[in-house]
A and B are shown apart, each in its own frame.
Chain A
Amino acid sequence: MKKWNKKKARRWLSACLAGLMVSSLAACGGKPDSVNVLPKEEEEERLVNLFSPMEKTDPNAENVARNACDLTIIMAEERLGTKMVYRTYTAESYQDKTYDDVTLDRARHNMDDIYLLNPDTLLILGAEGKLMDLSGLDNVKNLREIVRVANTVDGKLVAVPQEVVAYGLFVNKDLFDQYELPLPETPEEFLECCRVFQENGIETPVGANRWWLETFVFAQAYADLYNGGNTEAEIAALDRGETRYSDYMRPGFDFLKELIDRGYIDAEKASVSEAIEVERPDFLVGKTPIVMAYWGAANTETAYGKTDFEMQVIGFPSSRGPMPVISMTGFGIGAEAEHQEDAADLLNVMLSDEALQIYSETNRVISPSKNVKVDCVPALQPLNDRIEEGIYVLGANAGMNVEQWGNTCLIVRDLLNGASVDECMTAFDELQNAALER
């Protein structure tokens, strides 16, 4: 046995040496294929421009939401051999053009191929015919009906989201427990909580920015419309002018006004604050017990994904209890985009169940695909329970002839800047009238 092993070892050694010799000789005998020493040019790269906003980042922090989207983009790039080029813009301050403004400009002038669109811009651009009809993409057949409805303008599916964005109130449960306050479900309960907090030294119980206060309004305005069992008829009545948006909106604005008047919201600060940027530090250190944000913020370290206290995400106060507000930020393709075909192919892959599964698992959000389901983090459970019950309001609905999300946002800013509730309602009436005239 020993002899055999030795023999075998010798054979192996001989073989290795022979192999080494042959490879050495082969290495010496190489001959270039061409006299041109320049490396061969690769085939022309197919590029698709994506215009999207960006978040301000912390050092070495991982942006989960961004990563989730990147993963689907990488998947699409690898499948199609097409490269996505990122174009970004984010307003540095309220004085700058907003992302939506810039998006509108760029989309109108065909500066990019794919745009990440907020509900108001997609409605505007869809109405202007600046967006491609995406209903022809293979993977849109998997979309939930609510998603399809919310993104359809004039019968065209103008945008498709990678997540259904649910907005809610992010509350510091420890503080509520400290002051023995139940989590608020109605506007009255919410006011009571704010009162108690304020009495206990928390001067501004609600952290707000200039973007998301309209969610309070939507919750109260459309709680009955979307959950009363007569949604289509009520929307139709609004579209026909038989009912007024201002009638729906008033309670919410009155509520906001009260919050502002009582000092529960710092209107001045909110009117110049970008989303999350200002209210986040106070919320994280426990100075502010309530902020509002989107679902994914609960998973994102750069937002509220890592707190030292027990955080819960609940619906906005309404007559029907906690009310999630759902909105969708979708990808649209320019109707005259330079690389429209490649962009459509990329988006199609990005919207596949496989890609959305990755997205949802990474970001732990509600998927627009009816085939994809992912568990949420514990903090989101209260909000998720309500959505699972089918209780929510839409922050944007392309089926309404008055764009909701953007307009309401702007009118809320007016309120923040000192406008009265009546003035705000007048603004809604004007918008509705203009829509009716169209």
Chain B
Amino acid sequence: MKKKPGKRLKLKRPSFFLSIVLVFCILGTIVTGISRKITQEMSAAAVQNLSESLDLIQCTIEAIFRSQAEFQMLIAQEVARVESPEAYILACERNKSMAKMSLILSGETVGVSNDGEPFDAGSLDFSGGGSILDLPVSRSYVNYLGAWAYTIQCPVERDGKVIGTLYGEYIYDAIDASLPNGFYNMQACIYVMDAESERFVLKPKGMGQRNAGHLNLDDFYRANDIQDEQIRAEVKGCLSSGKNILFYHDIQGVHALNYMWPVNDGTIFLVGYVPVEAIQQEGRTVNQSILIVVAAMLTAFMLCVLLYYLSWRERDKIRKEREEERKIHSQQLADALQAAQIASESKTTFLSNMSHDIRTPMNAVLGFATLLSKEAENPVKVREYTKKILSSGQHLLSLINDILDVSKIESGKVVLNFEKFALNDVISSVDAIIQPMAAARGQSFHLSVTGVRHEYLIGDETRINQILINLLSNAVKYTPENGQIWFRIIGLKQRSNQYEHICIEVEDTGYGMTPEYLKTIFDAFTRAENSTTNKVQGTGLGMAITKSIVEMMGGTIEVFSEVNRGSLFRVELELRILEGQDSRQFWERWGISRILAVDGDPESRENIQALMNDSGIQLDILSDEKKADAWIKSGAEYQLALLNWEVHGTAAVKQLREALPDTVPILLLAEAGADLNEALSIKRVSVLAKPFFVSAFQEKMEEIWSEKDAEVPAEPDSGGLEGLHFLVAEDNEINAEILMELLEAEGASCEIMENGRLAVERFQQAAEGEFHAILMDVQMPVMNGHQATQAIRALERKDAKRIPIIAMTANAFAEDEKAALDAGMNAHVAKPLDMELLKRVIRQYVR
């Protein structure tokens, strides 16, 4: 069982968070429970506290009442003692508590007050005022001071006999002074209510909200919306029974505890409310404190969690980075190891292959050389063996060239040699090589060129050749007999006016490649099949070289392949267009102003039109011979006619021949190998190999007109080198001997010098014209070929500057050729020697 850490982590996270949530829920429940319990307890305590406060106020007021009653009893005793009670009363002064003192003697209805006014007790109602210390108390009323007041009635007794009644008037305001200042931080409200009239007779100034003002109980309840029937009934009951009541009711939107508290046996009541918030102030504070503590703890906890998380994240990040780093290192090491192993394996395989591949032709060379030495007298055998030796030698040479190419490309020493070239030449030369190879294997080789607008371009013709030959030779190699091979040159839409955008496609119906092999096809030292088990021979470097060259040229190469279905290689190149290639002069020179072209293939027509665009001649391209016939009959005069033979056939040629004057040549556009005998038997009919190129067209025209005029001198005989004498600088004795033999076989002679210095000295000593040319090796002891050439050219002799010096060296690369030319040599011929090539070069420079 494999562990899945990611999944486990994902599963763990929700449970971790759930745990935290659970802890918080439990904590919240506990805190809420505690808070509620505290609230309830504090509320109960507050109710108790309020009750005690109201009891205290009640007691205070009752104590005041008692004091007033006692005071009045004392005055009554004094009045009883004095001789003139009325005089005594008149002598009494008003004070803050007592507003008026009056006396009505027994038997009289009107008495006297301390303010000197007559006093009539008839306006006082002692029916519902209760009593204090058994003294009757009147109902509350607004007295002459404009204040709510009450009167206490006290009998005046002398010797056990009532001689009068003393009336003491007290104002409720007097109570205010004896009450504590502040009631629940002035948030509460308290009134003193006369029970009988339910009028509010006092609102103590220090005992509640100052701006509230109510007339009576009904007004108070209406204003505060206390309309609940049950409450009103209970309140009524309390009023009649003189009991107290506390109930909750919102006052002005504030939850409040309302109360009615009887004083003096319910003759007056304390009425008001206290906001619950004010009552539970301590409880709220405690709860707030608990919440603050809990919040602080939670914050601390969260902070710790956060710090832990940050720390963990930091460590995790570092750990991951290290792991990543380790992984990368391991990967790099593994990659390096694998690369090294692959490289080692590749090199081993390559060496093995090379060993095999080199030994095979070498074996043939040596084997046939041995046979040759035995069969030297048999000219037939000699020729056969020599041919095979040459063939094996050529193969060996190609192997060596490929190896060296790869080596150079990999070391970055390859330099492209940009020169003008004609696309036609490239295609012709490639076609000339591949066509026979394909034909030999019974394969159909199809060549087509479409959409190319310019055929004179600038590029490394040799390397382009190399690309094409690599691709095509592979196609030939890896396509079974009777297979098909397509070679297409397609002109793509130009990205710039200065560049021709060309797509080269090589498609075959060959063995194809597996997807795995496709991934490594462009790697060096790989081959689809092991050469030891496959008939196909090769270095496995071709595609790597091809890709490198394409990329050096700024192009792209891609491959599509399916096993047993075939392969398609597509190369895209952008080649600079050679400016100033005007073919007008050519046509003018030959007096050609109008050409008829008959081509049923639209692509081909388009191609011809595109290429002939700048020729300055009138080109009439028609799709069939009948139209051509009609045109001709209409009077059109042509100097030349082109006809696509594959499309129209011999009959069309004949028809065209009849229509045109005999002097007008007809060129048949035909693929190589086409059976044209019948067509060519028609008068002034020649063949122009497809694809159509202006340069090829011109060459063909020159050829036709030359034949016609028979004025052009015949090509000089390209036979031997009879009579020529060469100075040869060659340090390798075998090579020198081979060269000497070869030259002698061609009827020439030579003198061999072992190094450059000797060659220079020999040339100095030689008479002018003694040597027809100097064949110069490059790598030599004492003085190399370049130095020697420079020395010769520097000699003050007439022929020093003009004697042809031909480099003959194993330094076979383009830069080697350039270096040779730069040193002053006239030409460069690579080793191993191709005698035909050497002869051509010599004939070119030695006249």
Binding site for B on A (CB under 8 A): 47, 49, 54, 56-60, 66, 70, 84-90, 92, 96-97, 101-107, 109, 111
Contact assessment for A103 and B210 in the assembled complex, using a CB-CB cutoff below 8 Å: no
Contact assessment for B223 and A105 in the assembled complex, using a CB-CB cutoff below 8 Å: no
Contact assessment for A106 and B146 in the assembled complex, using a CB-CB cutoff below 8 Å: yes
Contact assessment for A60 and B252 in the assembled complex, using a CB-CB cutoff below 8 Å: yes
Contact assessment for B145 and A106 in the assembled complex, using a CB-CB cutoff below 8 Å: yes
- With A57-B223, A58-B223 as contacts: A66 and B211 at CB distance below 8 Å: yes
B215-249 interface bits toward A, Cβ cutoff 8 Å, 1 = contact, 0 = none: 11001001111000000000000000000000000
| Measured CA separation A86–B205 after assembly (Å) | 7
Q: How many residues of B contact A (CB 8 A)?
A: 23
B381 CB → nearest A CB, Å: 86
| Measured CA separation A87–B215 after assembly (Å) | 12
B213 at the interface (CB under 8 A from A): yes
Residues of B within 8 A of A102 (CB): 142, 146
- With A58-B222, A58-B223 as contacts: A86 and B147 at CB distance below 8 Å: no
Residues of A within 8 A of B17 (CB): none
| Measured CA separation A109–B222 after assembly (Å) | 33
Contact assessment for B225 and A60 in the assembled complex, using a CB-CB cutoff below 8 Å: yes
| Measured CA separation A390–B190 after assembly (Å) | 47
Contact assessment for B205 and A97 in the assembled complex, using a CB-CB cutoff below 8 Å: no
B145-159 interface bits toward A, Cβ cutoff 8 Å, 1 = contact, 0 = none: 111000000000000
Our pick among B146, B205, B211, B214 for the contact of A101 (Cβ within 8 Å) is B146
Binding site for A on B (CB under 8 A): 142-147, 173, 199, 203, 205, 210-211, 213-216, 219, 222-225, 252-253
Q: Which 8 A-B pairs have the closest CB atoms?
A: A105-B146, A59-B225, A106-B146, A54-B213, A102-B146, A57-B223, A85-B205, A88-B213
Residues of A within 8 A of B223 (CB): 56-59
- With A92-B215, A92-B216, A109-B145 as contacts: A60 and B222 at CB distance below 8 Å: no
Residues of A within 8 A of B213 (CB): 54, 86, 88
Contact assessment for B205 and A103 in the assembled complex, using a CB-CB cutoff below 8 Å: no
Residues of B within 8 A of A85 (CB): 205, 210
| Measured CA separation A59–B223 after assembly (Å) | 4
Contact assessment for A105 and B144 in the assembled complex, using a CB-CB cutoff below 8 Å: yes
Residues of B within 8 A of A56 (CB): 215, 219, 222-223
Interface contacts beyond A84-B210, A89-B146: sample of 11 additional A-B pairs, CB < 8 Å, sorted by A:
A57-B219, A57-B223, A59-B222, A88-B213, A97-B142, A102-B146, A105-B142, A105-B147, A106-B147, A109-B144, A109-B145
Residues of A within 8 A of B144 (CB): 105, 109
Closest to A66 in B: B211
| Measured CA separation A85–B211 after assembly (Å) | 9
| Majority secondary structure of chain B interface residues (helix, strand, loop or mixed) | loop
- Give 15 pairs: A residue, B residue, CB < 8 Å, sorted on A: A57-B219, A58-B222, A59-B222, A59-B223, A60-B253, A66-B211, A86-B205, A90-B215, A96-B142, A101-B146, A105-B142, A105-B143, A105-B144, A109-B144, A111-B147
B207 CB → nearest A CB, Å: 11
A67 CB → nearest B CB, Å: 9
| Measured CA separation A86–B209 after assembly (Å) | 10
Contact assessment for B211 and A109 in the assembled complex, using a CB-CB cutoff below 8 Å: no
B710 CB → nearest A CB, Å: 89
B308 CB → nearest A CB, Å: 13
| Measured CA separation A47–B253 after assembly (Å) | 30
| Measured CA separation A54–B214 after assembly (Å) | 8
Contact assessment for A88 and B203 in the assembled complex, using a CB-CB cutoff below 8 Å: yes
B767 CB → nearest A CB, Å: 87
Residues of B within 8 A of A57 (CB): 214, 219, 222-223
Residues of B within 8 A of A107 (CB): 146
Residues of B within 8 A of A59 (CB): 222-225
Closest to A84 in B: B210
B125 CB → nearest A CB, Å: 13
B508 CB → nearest A CB, Å: 58
B734 CB → nearest A CB, Å: 73
Closest to A74 in B: B211
Residues of B within 8 A of A97 (CB): 142, 146
Closest to B144 in A: A105
| Measured CA separation A105–B219 after assembly (Å) | 25
| Measured CA separation A163–B225 after assembly (Å) | 31
| Measured CA separation A105–B215 after assembly (Å) | 19
| Measured CA separation A103–B222 after assembly (Å) | 26
Contact assessment for A111 and B146 in the assembled complex, using a CB-CB cutoff below 8 Å: yes
A96 CB → nearest B CB, Å: 7
Closest to B143 in A: A105
Closest to A59 in B: B225
A329 CB → nearest B CB, Å: 16
Contact assessment for A47 and B224 in the assembled complex, using a CB-CB cutoff below 8 Å: no
Closest to A63 in B: B211
A339 CB → nearest B CB, Å: 13
Contact assessment for A111 and B145 in the assembled complex, using a CB-CB cutoff below 8 Å: yes
Contact assessment for B219 and A103 in the assembled complex, using a CB-CB cutoff below 8 Å: no
Residues of B within 8 A of A106 (CB): 145-147
| Measured CA separation A422–B429 after assembly (Å) | 151
Closest to A54 in B: B213
| Measured CA separation A105–B143 after assembly (Å) | 8
| Measured CA separation A109–B100 after assembly (Å) | 13
Closest to B148 in A: A89
Our pick among A49, A70, A86, A104 for the contact of B146 (Cβ within 8 Å) is A104
| Measured CA separation A66–B145 after assembly (Å) | 25
Closest to B210 in A: A86
Closest to A104 in B: B146
| Measured CA separation A57–B147 after assembly (Å) | 22
| Measured CA separation A109–B213 after assembly (Å) | 23
| Measured CA separation A103–B147 after assembly (Å) | 10
| Measured CA separation A111–B142 after assembly (Å) | 13
| Measured CA separation A113–B225 after assembly (Å) | 33
Contact assessment for A103 and B225 in the assembled complex, using a CB-CB cutoff below 8 Å: no
Residues of A within 8 A of B222 (CB): 56-59
A72 CB → nearest B CB, Å: 13
Residues of B within 8 A of A109 (CB): 144-146
Our pick among B145, B205, B224 for the contact of A105 (Cβ within 8 Å) is B145
| Measured CA separation A88–B199 after assembly (Å) | 13
- With A60-B253, A66-B211, A86-B210 as contacts: A47 and B205 at CB distance below 8 Å: yes
Our pick among A54, A101, A104, A111 for the contact of B215 (Cβ within 8 Å) is A54
| Measured CA separation A89–B140 after assembly (Å) | 14
A24 CB → nearest B CB, Å: 10
Closest to B220 in A: A57
Residues of B within 8 A of A54 (CB): 213-215
| Measured CA separation A87–B253 after assembly (Å) | 25
Residues of B within 8 A of A104 (CB): 146
A346 CB → nearest B CB, Å: 14
| Measured CA separation A94–B666 after assembly (Å) | 144
Closest to B221 in A: A59
Residues of B within 8 A of A90 (CB): 215
Residues of B within 8 A of A47 (CB): 205
| Measured CA separation A162–B253 after assembly (Å) | 31
| Measured CA separation A257–B224 after assembly (Å) | 41
Closest to B300 in A: A20
Residues of A within 8 A of B146 (CB): 89, 97, 101-107, 109, 111
Residues of B within 8 A of A87 (CB): 205
A234 CB → nearest B CB, Å: 36
Residues of A within 8 A of B253 (CB): 60
Which interface residue of B145, B147, B211 has the most chain A CB atoms within 10 A?
Answer: B211
Closest to B211 in A: A70
